[in-house]
Structures are given as structure tokens and as C-alpha cells.
Amino acid sequence: MTALYDRELAPSGLKLTQYSLLATLRREGGDAGLAVSGLAAAMDMDRTTLTRNLRPLLDQGLVELGADESDARVRRARITPRGHAVFGKAMPYWRVAQDFVNRTLGEGDVAALHGWLDRVTPAFRLESMGNESMATRNSWIFVLAAAAILMVTMGTRQSMGLFLSPLNTHTGLGIASISFAMAIGQFVWGAVQPIFGAVADRWGPGRVIVFGSLLLTVGCALTTQVTSEWGLIVAIGVLSAAGAGAGSFSILIGATAQHVPTERRSFAGGVINAGGSLGQFIFAPLNQAILSAFGWMQAMWMMAAVALTTAPMAWWLRGRPRSPLAAGTPAAELTLRQQLKIAARDRSYWCLHAGFFTCGFHIAFLVTHMPGEVNLCGLNANVAATSLAIIGLANIGGSLAAGALGSRMRMKHILFWMYASRAVAILAYLAAPKEPWTFYLFSAVLGATWLATVPPTAGLTAKLFGTRYLATLFGLTLLSHQIGGFFGAWLGGVAVVSNGNYLWMWWADAALALGAAIVNLPIREARPTPVRAAA
């Protein structure tokens, strides 16, 4: 029966459930709309099922959610002018299907059918609640698998700075040349993300992650064998970086966004991001310990072996991505090229790029040259490894907090305070005595925002353009992030070779952080809908 209505409604771009939701909102909601709990009761649906069915209508702009004027905890669903127009277009098609049912069954059989549905609906509702509970559990398994993959790929990437001095001793190429190879890696890691993101949007993230696992393993293994600048550029700058990029933010967050309810996406992004921070917390001291006890080659071989573990974890992320929109809807017909043109004309999207550029500059400079800064201060190499581990540990809390706050306050304001706090932290570091406790405290403060910028940046991208091409669009912001990362890693090496210290890099970093804070304020963003609800 449903298939009959769906077939007749297809030219309007709606399915029967979506048509029924619009009809209920028109009939019972009026201008004020309906509380979500009231809409669920009117549709005889549980809240999870209702949220899933509302998602395509929200993404197309046919329905909007807002807080109740008398109780901000209550969410109300309202049909938009565009929703009224689409409903009007769909009504004649619905009548054709309804007339066919009435003619075929007759009034008596139609009444009997309605009576039977009234009797069996409670039983189906109980079964549906069980299925939805299972779907929710599966979506969080999906998120945890993504977090575990990011733990490996980010742990590997963020430990590379520990190998700068050993590689210089082994190859004799000089700090600037090795920094340049690592800077190329920063750029390549960002450059591959929109490419791999587009592949994942088309064919699914699983095979992309497996391919990346192989690239990362080969890159780490090859690093132990090369002694030329070009060899390091290929091993570290291309293979390792591309492999880590194939299992990084844009692919993982883009994939999970389509399996997690809209109001939970920000927190899910925080959980995934925390996985990357946990990787830094584990890999930095682990690599330093192996490096000190057995040598840098053994530490690099260990990373090559661990990189292979992401391939079996990709099983949880297998399959093609599903569009959150119904087939046949006008929004579902939007191609990647069309979406990119829309994004390119959006000032808010470019503000995200500008802020993320600074974030990349800052992170790449520190993760590459923190060991060098510690060495210039006459401190033990373990201080650098411990500092990187503290950054990772602090960022676990920062990422989870950023993800949770994204459901309660505007994400652009979260980004503003994060970038502003970095500028303050850098200035405080420059004024402080260079003792181990200074580095540890500095790392804890920075760690709170280190990669915690990712959930709100990804969340804003999804808010602006939806989730269908999120892996590609967020991947492009990561490209800007890594262009900044290229300059942060490379110019740090240039600074220390030219001046014998990193002083002007610290001042540039502070100025850029302040600029990033300001540039996020003009971003177009509606107030978030409260997630706790007695609605």
C-alpha cells in the first residue's frame, strides 16, 4: 500500500510518510507549529522514528525546528513557505492514489482496513522501538570505530616531530630540509582529504580507509630506508601523509554524520576527535620510549605495523553512503559540482577556511618544532614527548566539551573563544621562564583547544550545506588547514636556521590566532535547538 502512494507521489519529491508529516503540521500546527512530542503522538511514532523521518524535510527546508516561546526546552516543528508549496504540489498526486484505493477496495473494505491498522499499530510500535534502539546502538559503534581509526592515524602523524633530530643525525640533510619534507606532508595530508572525501561520498569510506592503511604502512617502512631529501619527501611527505589523510577527519566525520541524529552530530564529532587526541597521548611517549631504548628505526617500524590495524576496523564503515534526503527530491538532485559552486559563493564558508588555515599553522608548527624548542631551552627530550602527550590528553576533554557545547551554543562562538585563548596562551608562554613546568602547563592549556576546533568546524559545514557532501566540503576546509600547516612546519625550520630560535614564529602564531578568532564572528549560524527536551 505504501509503495503505491510513494509511486504516485514521486513527481512531487515526497514519500508518503513525509507527505503525512506535512499534512499533520498544516492541519494541526498552524503558524505556531507543533511540539515535537505532539507531532510524534499525532503521527503515532516514537521520537527516534520521527526524528529520522523529519531529517529529509529539515534538510530541504520544508520544515523548521525552533524553541517554544514559553518554554525554551520544548522544540516546535513548523512547516515553512516552501513546505506549503511542495505540499500543494503533492496533494493532487496523493488524491490519485487515494481514489485508486477507494475504487479498488470499496468503502467497506477501506473502513475494515483502518480498523485492522488501529488494532495492530501498538504491536508494531513496540517492535519499532526495539529496532530503533538497536539502530542507535549501531550508530555509536560506528562512531567508536571511527574514533579508533583516528587514534592510529593521528597518533602516527602527531609523533613525527620526535623523529626530526634522529633523521637529521642519520641522513645529515639538515633541519630545514627535513622540516620541508614534513611540511610537504602537512600539505598532502590536507590535499588528499577532499579527494578521498569525494571517493567516500561516492563509493563509501571503507575501501578508502583500507587503501590509506596500506599507504601509511609503506610510508613509515620506507622512511627507515631513504637518506635523500627526495626520498624523505616521498616517504613522509607523500605516502605517510596521504595514508593518514585517508583515515582522517573528513572521511570519518562525514561518514558518521549520516548515521547519527542531527542533534547528536556535534557530540559524535567530539568523540571521534577525542580518539585522535588519545592517539597523540599514547603514541608520543610510546615512540619516545622505543626511540630511546631501541633507536628511531624500530619506533618507525612499530608505527608501520600499527598502521595496518586500521584496515580491519574499516569493516564497520563499509558500504556506500546513503543520502539523508529522499530519492527524487529536488535537494537530492544536487550534484557535487553544484554543491561546490554554492559553497564557493558563501562568505561564511570562506571564514571557516580562514580560521582553519590559522589552526593548521599553529598545530603543525608546534607538533614539528616543539622538540626543537625544548632542545633550545636546554631541557631533556622527554620534556617534548611529555608535552605532546599532555596536549593529547587535554584535548580529549576539550574535544568532548566542544562536541557537547555545539548542541547548546553557537559553534562560531566556540571557535572564537578557542582561537582567542591560544593567542593569550602563546603570549603567556613567551613571558614565562622556560622550565619543564612551563611547557607542561602551556601544553595543557593549548591541548584543551588543540584539535577541539574540528567538531564545531565540521558542525558548521554540515549546518551550512547538509551532510550529503560533508566529507568533500569539510575535506576542503582541512586542505586550507594543511596549507597553513605547510607554512607552520616549513617556516619554523627556516626561522631556527636563520635566527637560531623560533621567536618571530611565536609572535606570528599569536597574531594569526587573534585574527582567526575575529574572522569566525561573521559566520552565518542560527541559534542551536536545545536537545534536552520535555517536548
Mean pLDDT by 10 residues, the chain (535 residues): 74 83 80 77 71 78 76 74 85 78 61 50 45 52 84 85 86 85 84 82 82 93 90 92 85 72 69 81 85 90 91 74 41 69 90 92 85 88 84 81 79 92 93 92 88 84 79 84 86 87 92 93 74 40
- Count how many Cα atoms sit within 13 Å of the Cα of residue 175 in the half-sphere of its side chain: 19
pLDDT of 120 reads: 44
DSSP codes of every residue in 81-101: HHHHHHHHHHHHHHHHHHHHH
Q: Which residues pair with 79 in a beta bridge?
A: 63
Which pLDDT does position 517 carry in this prediction? 94
Return the C-alpha cell found at 290: 622505543
Q: H helices then E strands: how many in the chain?
A: 22, 3
Largest CA distance in the chain: 92
- pLDDT at 535 (0 to 100): 40
pTM: 0.61
Measured CA to CA, the distance from residue 535 to residue 526 in angstroms comes to 20
Q: Which residue has the cell 477496495?
A: 105
pLDDT at 222: 93
Nearest to 66 by CA among 76, 53, 51: 76
What own/partner pairs with CB < 8 Å and gap ≥ 24 does 503-506 have? Answer: 503/430, 505/365, 505/369, 506/426, 506/429, 506/430
